[in-house]
Amino acid sequence: MMVNQRLDLLTDYPFQRLRDLLGDAPAGGPKRAEPISMALGEPQLGAPPLLMQALTAAAGDFGRYPAVNGTPGLRRAIAEWLDRRYGLGAGQGIDPDLEVIPLNGTREGLFALAQIAVPAVRAATRPLVLTPNPFYQCYLGAATMAGAETRLIPAIRESGFLPDLDSLDAETLSRAALMYLCSPGNPQGAIADRAYLTRAVDLAKANDFVLALDECYAEIYDEAPPVGGLEVAAATPDRFRNVVVFHSLSKRSSAPGLRSGFMAGDPEMVKRFAKLRSFGGAPLPGPIAAASEALWRDEAHVEETRRHYRALFDLADDILGNRPGYYRPAGGFFVWLDVGDGAAFAHRAWTEAGVRVLPGGYLAREEPDGSNPGERYVRLALVQDHATTGEALKRLAALMDS
């Protein structure tokens, strides 16, 4: 059978690897206690009521084909939110018709962008896609299926859990077609400051590659709101050229099942994405666009969401804070916990404590020297309610102490 053999280059997804690691082993933990999952970053807070209200009011639109580039109302709501959130006024405001496109889940855009940004060339030196290591697995899949070579940049404690941009040599930068960056980071929760983002934007423009800033956790932060890529790029002479950002309602509004996000920035990338989607993509259905518009226009539920996660990290501080492998992240809802051997700890966490966690090595790949920057860690998703999270953290703390 003739198939695309690039697919064979992709390793099993992290959650399949976790299933393989645990196999049929029964959950341990306190007698008659329920197992608890901290492996999947799926918010359990519940979507705000206004989502269903808007969805129901627009239900008639399920009888119509959705527009490729989304509804005008949703694009305006996104543009106005970006303007408010990142202070893009005084001539810097987002053009909702040219610089925004709603997505059927942000993963759609992150994956499809590589099909647009990576040139179709047959050469001994393939284009490079640069990603952090550890990384969101979509980045690797996108690069591989686009025919690019992936260059992993360690995002380790010594570099503030962000890729060291100054480590990129001239040959790497000359071959780069696309760079993925995530801030706040998944899994480490590190936030790129203005100087870091300025450096990333400058590199993209100077070397003519696309900078894709995954900002899906930007509304979940501990103290100061993270700086955004468009906020930095708007101050450059050629504005958003070579820069796009991605945002999602999955985390901001606790609505992962809505499958709604957006890409904004470089109008050429937005136009090309719409063209690609018109052939094989999945536009956002009208009622989901209406619900999304309502969510982007409301801030009250987002403030409540931030208070919820801050309380969970206060809990983590109380339970894990005196252990050397723990730190409180600046953003996101993951604990990136150094346990020495992530896979071994994950197996023990399940079989002895009844808590499912994700080995950090499954979110990374080996470096040329054979090291894996995630292998010492496990990722804990603090997405359950306060009581459940507290119980899970106590079990893990006891396991660490043993």
d(CA 70, CA 50): 20
Which one-letter amino acid corresponds to residue 22? L
pLDDT of residue 280: 85
pLDDT of residue 172: 96
Q: Report whether 35 contacts 356 (CB < 8 A).
A: yes
d(CA 266, CA 109): 14
Proportion of the chain in helix, strand, coil states, percent, rounded to 5: 45, 15, 40
pLDDT of residue 33: 85
Contact partners, residue 267, CB within 8 Å, separation at least 6? 95, 98, 99, 240
Query: What's the pLDDT tens digit per position in 144-161?
Result: 999 999 999 999 999 999
Q: Report whether 388 contacts 36 (CB < 8 A).
A: yes
Closest CA to 337 of 391, 400, 401: 400
Q: Report whether 264 contacts 99 (CB < 8 A).
A: yes
Contact partners, residue 133, CB within 8 Å, separation at least 6? 152, 153, 154, 155, 163, 364, 365, 367, 373, 374
pLDDT of residue 256: 95
Q: Report whether 376 contacts 359 (CB < 8 A).
A: no
- For the chain, which domains are there? 5-46+301-401 (3.90.1150.10), 50-298 (3.40.640.10)
Query: What's the pLDDT tens digit per position in 54-111?
Result: 999 999 999 999 999 999 999 999 999 999 999 997 778 999 999 999 999 999 999 9
Where residue 133 falls (left for φ over 0; alpha for ψ -120 to 50; beta otherwise) is: beta
pLDDT of residue 6: 83
pLDDT of residue 315: 98
pLDDT under 50: residue ranges of the chain: none
